[in-house]
Structure 1
Amino acid sequence: MDHGLKIANWNVHGINARARRTAIRSLIDTTDASVVCLQETKMELVYSSVVLEMLGSEFDDYVYLPAIGTRGGILLAWKSTVVSISDPEFTAHTLSAKVCTPGGTPWWITVVYGPQTDADKIAFLQELREVRAACPGPWLLCGDFNLIYRDGDKNNSNLNRRMIGRFRRVLNDLALKEIYLNGRRYTWSNGQSPPTLVHLDRFFCTTDWEESHAECHLRCLASVVSDHSPLLLDCSPVPASHRRFRFEEFWLRLDGFHDTVTAAWNSPHQLELEDGG
């Protein structure tokens, strides 16, 4: 278990302005995060001086996926005194690397910044399948997906149900479980009145990653410099009362699932009542 490991994820809408980097630094300083995942950096080249100014001297190592001009871009930065991150892998819309902490089991992290057009989104979903093939074992997937997989992830009925179905199928095929987001239903707003609100920023994980981080806790942070909410994942144990049970559709396809449910359903249960009440 990765005691004390915290991961901050944020679509920052650009790090190419000093005022924005200062605002990012202010927020990151309050999180005690050891790993920072930023999307939409809007920078083709990310220099160490920029990372130093934006995150502080403790974040002494990083890798990045360059923006195309001022479009896109992903940055993964970390404190090497706390965590070791290596073996970076890149696709058009993802950045993956292997994570190791002292005494912990190695696992993969993939940071995504999903595209805007439907054609690119279809290609992006195929990328996720290819990334999984290249990153075996425990896997954590986070970022701005620019996709939703449930009607309730948006506050109006303007939905692309075909794309919702495609995203849901990929999640099921890859056996990914969403980490429950505490404190907020949506992570992006268009800032209009009335606003369109969407849950675009997420953390997913595989079952073996969850088994090693069963009590992790994900929450939103406040932001005034981006239309996306920053997310903070605390991998340390928290009281069990924070856990939420969620049924995952892919369980239905696991070997022995129906036999296990049938056996549990038919097993005898004794209810002990106090004072005969």
Structure 2
Amino acid sequence: MLLPNVVMKFTTWNVRSLNDSIKRCLVRDFLSRSAIDIVGLQESKLSNPSSRKLRSIGGKKLPHWCHLDSTEYRGGVLVGWSDSFSLIHSHVSIFSVLVFLHHKPSNWRFTSTSVYAPTDRDDGDVCWWELNRVRDIFSGPWVLCGDFNTTLSSDERSDRNGSLRDINSFRDFISSASLIDLPLSGRSFTWSKKRLVPSMARLDMYLVCVE
């Protein structure tokens, strides 16, 4: 049970590579300035990052990390958390990183997962299977965030396009896992492809279970 006055700040961010030291500094400054407690970073493009490199991202505020390595300079997921949490268990899959955490101030335990879903349709089916499998293993409160590379409806794309099959597969996963899509506030889209007339979509989101 959460204490009434306890607040935890989460964020998710497709950073599109953290190989540049200046970019890592910018990310670290944002996380510190925003007092983030748990962060999920997608498309890190880092493979086997050193503890020094992870410190350059999280600084003193987010000293703990679990990571999924990139493959051939593609993909890569990082999950970082503050000293307010102790790690009970971690699990790295093909497309996601899961951490089972104990929040010390509230004595609350929950699972947080960051995912970078693939764009390929067949791989997408594997991703939804993977997340459902993780859910079967780790029951209880769950926070799932990341770049899902698909939308829940054609309205979540500026051009109103998108594969109906992909949309239905994503919806089926959310329904089977009993998740709630937290609404986006202040904007309609989270991703833009730079063009004269940009193509925009809501690909990044937070999903939570009832608990």
> By the TM > 0.5 criterion, same fold?
yes
- Structure with more of its chain in strand, by fraction: 2
Structure of greater relative contact order (alpha carbons < 8 Å, 6+ residues apart): 1
Match of residue 97 from structure 1: 99
How high is the TM-score relative to the length of structure 2?
A: 0.93
1:53-132 matches, within 5 Å, as 53-80=56-83, 82-102=84-104, 103-132=106-135
Q: What stretches of structure 1 move > 3 A for 4+ residues in a row? A: none
Letter of the structure 2 residue corresponding to residue 161 of structure 1: L
Gaps of 5+ in 1: 209-277
Identity %: 26
Structure 2 counterparts to residues 245-264 of structure 1, below 5 A? none
Alignment partner of 1:5 out of 5, 8, 16: 8
Q: Give, in whole Å, the separation in 2 of the partners of 1:7 and 1:15.
A: 19
- Paired with 1:17 and 1:58, the residues of 2 have a C-alpha distance of 20
String of CA shifts for 1:93-139, please: whole Å, max 9, x gaps: 01111121122321111110001111111111111211111111111
Pick one of 195, 200, 204 that aligns with 1:201.
Answer: 204
Determine which structure has more spread, i.e. the larger CA radius of gyration: 1
Residue 149 (structure 1) shift: 1.4
In structure 2, the residue matched to 1:224 is none
2:154–2:161 CA contact under 8 A, matched in 1: no
Shift of 1:86: 2.9
8 Å contact kept, 2:188–2:202: yes
Partners in 2 of 1:8 and 1:108 — Cα distance?
15
TM-score by length of 1: 0.72
Unaligned runs of 5+ in 2: none
Is the Cα contact below 8 Å between 1:155 and 1:198 reproduced in 2?
yes
Equivalent position amino acid for 1:170 in 2: F
Cα offsets for 1:4-40 (capped at 9, x unmatched): 3111211100111112112212221221111121111
The count of aligned residue pairs is: 207
